[in-house]
Structure 1
Amino acid sequence: MRSKEPDITPELLLRAYSIGLFPMADSADDPELFWVEPEIRGVIPLDDFHVPRSLSKAMRKAPFDIRINTAFEGVLRGCAAPAPGRENTWINSKIVKLYSMLHRMGYAHSVEAFEGDELAGGLYGVSLGGAFFGESMFSRRTNASKIALVHLVERLRQRGFVLLDTQFTTEHLKTFGAIDVPKQRYEKMLARAVSMPNIPFG
């Protein structure tokens, strides 16, 4: 479903997440946003998360310092920046503004992989009730976003989250256990998750 929305507020955005919608732009240069409601939803079951063997081996070397919510806007802009194979993204200036506001309100969070003082990669998303909605990730160093994802899942498990929404599945996410969920089943999973009290993430 696509419908234009000229004036999205943070409060409206949270309401949209609670019923299965999220906003996107056609490109970083497009000033407009539209609502997306996939018929098939991407989800990573937290109990079936899989870390590929090669990544486990890389993680044992502890190549990055993982931090939480210390460089949210840096992660957001890293996700919006062009990259090989991804010359354009759906993150426009309205997305940056809205999610920065959600971050200040305590609903949007980042997991960051630092190499020294340099942000090497990370991811960001929105938490609501017992759900975490993954929005985007980026890497400037090999495995940076993958390791951030592993730390995200560990954090969600420790705190009692019940839903990790990835919006869509990709071959990359499937290596971690992502599955496609029909809309009707997803709605039940979502309703359960957002009916829970907000679980602290940071």
Structure 2
Amino acid sequence: MGSEPESTRWTFPTLEQMDPDDDLVALGADLEPGTLLAAYRAGLFPMPSGPVQPWVPRLSRFRRGPRRDEPLAWFSPVRRGVLPLDGLRVSRSLRRACRDFDVRLDTAFDDVVAGCSDPSRDGAWIDDRIALAYGHLHRLGWAHSVEAWRDGELVGGLYGVAIGGLFAGESMFHRERDASKVALVGLVEALRDEHADARLLDVQWRTDHLASLGVVEIPRAEYLTRLSQATGLPLPGPFVA
């Protein structure tokens, strides 16, 4: 378990306070570790209010290009994307690709975030505030990276927040074909243990690409119920320092 930071001074909305038709549920607050953990425990995650999460369709309400003076946007999707650990679809070609990469955990967290924040990527949204905040959370033991390496070079990966049985995926990138998918396979393997049925792998939104890997949608209320159960579980062994 990570080191528990100072409690946040912010209060996040409950299910009853959220608009049942809107994924966006709050604006403002900060990215202090205590705030981020409180948000994830309440089913929310942040994005700068200018750009758009790269593994979801672009939302027309937001402009591209983050500005530091724009307030943070906090989301709790009406239809949440989750990947059942027994539902990951591994094609024959992906299974072959898994043999070509070395999967590592938490050996290059900042480099993974840098890969995910590459401004040349379509829909790039990770600004300096986000990178610094999750780097801090990583050093406290709450944020983790799963990396795909080939010949000693980082070629893909993903990062997210782990709280008990929750892994909240934030972003992923690749520099070689299938590298990010291989990292996802590695993540699922890391989460599979005697608590696998109750663990929750959150990917925020379902896209056609993620659906091809087994991601499904569940209603917000169901997600929050499962979240309260998952966060009470022990961390998976690979994420225990």
Scaled by the length of structure 1, the TM-score of the pair is: 0.91
Structure 1's unaligned 5+ residue stretches are: none
Equivalent residues of 1:124, 1:136 under 8 A apart: yes
User: Per-residue deviation at 1:196?
Assistant: 2.4
Pick the structure with greater CA Rg: 2
Structure 2's unaligned 5+ residue stretches are: 1-23, 52-64
C-alpha separation in 2, matches of 1:181 and 1:13 = 23
Give the alignment partner of residue 8 of structure 1, picking from 27, 31, 45.
31
C-alpha separation in 2, matches of 1:5 and 1:180 = 27
How many residues are aligned here?
Answer: 198
Give the alignment partner of residue 119 of structure 2, picking from 82, 85, 92.
82
C-alpha separation in 2, matches of 1:58 and 1:96 = 29
- Which of the pair is proportionally richer in helix? 1
Number of the residue aligned with 2:93: 54
C-alpha separation in 1, matches of 2:91 and 2:101 = 18
Number of the residue aligned with 2:58: none
Number of the residue aligned with 1:152: 187
Task: Report the secondary structure of 1:15's partner residue.
Answer: helix
Equivalent residues of 1:159, 1:199 under 8 A apart: no
User: Per-residue deviation at 1:45?
Assistant: 0.7
User: Per-residue deviation at 1:175?
Assistant: 1.4
* RMSD of aligned alpha carbons: 1.7
User: Per-residue deviation at 1:108?
Assistant: 0.4
Task: Report the secondary structure of 2:189's partner residue.
Answer: helix
1:107-126 CA-to-partner distances (Å, cap 9, x unmatched) read: 00001111223210100010
Alignment of 1:1-202 (within 5 A): 1-25=24-48, 26-27=50-51, 29-31=66-68, 32=70, 33-59=72-98, 62-83=99-120, 86-158=121-193, 160-161=195-196, 162-200=199-237, 201-202=239-240
Give the letter for the 2:205 counterpart. F
Task: Tell me: CA distance 1:188–1:6, structure 2 relative to 1, closer, same or farther (3 Å).
Answer: closer
Task: Tell me: CA distance 1:131–1:110, structure 2 relative to 1, closer, same or farther (3 Å).
Answer: same
Q: Percent identity?
A: 47
Scaled by the length of structure 2, the TM-score of the pair is: 0.77
C-alpha separation in 2, matches of 1:30 and 1:87 = 17
Which structure has more relative contact order (CA 8 Å, sep 6+)? It is: 1
Task: Report the secondary structure of 2:155's partner residue.
Answer: strand
C-alpha separation in 1, matches of 2:134 and 2:227 = 20
User: Per-residue deviation at 1:199?
Assistant: 4.2
